[in-house]
Amino acid sequence: MQLFLDTANIQEIREGVRWGVISGVTTNPSLAAAEGIGDSGSYKAAVQEIADLLDGPISVEVVSQDAAGMIAEGREIAEWIPNPWVKIPSTAAGFEAISVLSRDGIKINQTLCFSVNQALLGAQAGSTAVSPFVGRLDDIGQEGMELVAEIVSLFRDYQIDTKVLAASIRHPLHCTLAARAGADIATVPYKILAQMAQHPLTDAGMTRFLADWEKAGSA
């Protein structure tokens, strides 16, 4: 399973890329707003800065609600950087936009997916990846990871090559479970990436190795 960083924060992306563990980045209007980005010009500049840091796909979301607007925005975003995935919501207008943009050869990250049926529709329309939102389903008392597992299993059965991208990841266990469920990608906030690297026994082991080493050196 590949890991993408779910952030528009350039420092976080720089750090993740330095670790050599990040294959892509996902952004959305809320993540952009958290960095003070609120218009298409500054979103473009931020995305171009991110693209200078890594070759992998960078997901950039449209804000139009209607198909014509999404298609126009998607075509524009596709020109911003070398490896864009245009994020389109799982709505009727979204499926129309996905089918048009995918036929143009533009890669699509179908976002805000909350059901198997939305995933099936997106795959038929030509989504490159579909993003089930795990944490937001958990929030309403539904097991979000079950949706990931169900989509993975159906896509395998029907040999659908749309990737399954586990999103709305809220804690490190979500990441482990997404990998077990067979997700192709999980997109994680930086805080969770950092938590994934940590284990108290690793820290304790390093302390003990160092203490033994110093004791032997001073004997």
Q: Which residues bind ligand G3P (CB under 6 A)?
A: 6, 26, 28, 31, 133, 135-136, 167-168, 170, 187
Looking at beta carbons only, is 133 or 155 nearer to ligand G3P? Answer: 133
187 in Cβ contact with 6 (< 8 Å): yes
Q: Tell me the C-alpha distance between 156 and 186, whole Å.
A: 18
151 in Cβ contact with 127 (< 8 Å): no
CB of 162 vs ligand G3P, minimal distance in Å: 17
Establish whether 107 is a catalytic residue. no
The label of the residue with tokens 């190795």 reads 209
CB of 6 vs ligand G3P, minimal distance in Å: 5
User: Which of the following is catalytic: 44, 87, 107, 163?
Assistant: 87
**33 to 8, 59, 218: CA distances (angstroms):** 9, 15, 55
Element (H, E) at 12: helix 10-19
CB of 32 vs ligand G3P, minimal distance in Å: 11
Q: What is the DSSP string of 96-147?
A: HHHHHHHHTT-EEEEEEE-SHHHHHHHHHHT-SEEEEBHHHHHHTTS-HHHH
CB of 53 vs ligand G3P, minimal distance in Å: 19
Q: What angle do CA 162, 84, 160 make, to 5 degrees?
A: 5
Catalytic residues: 87
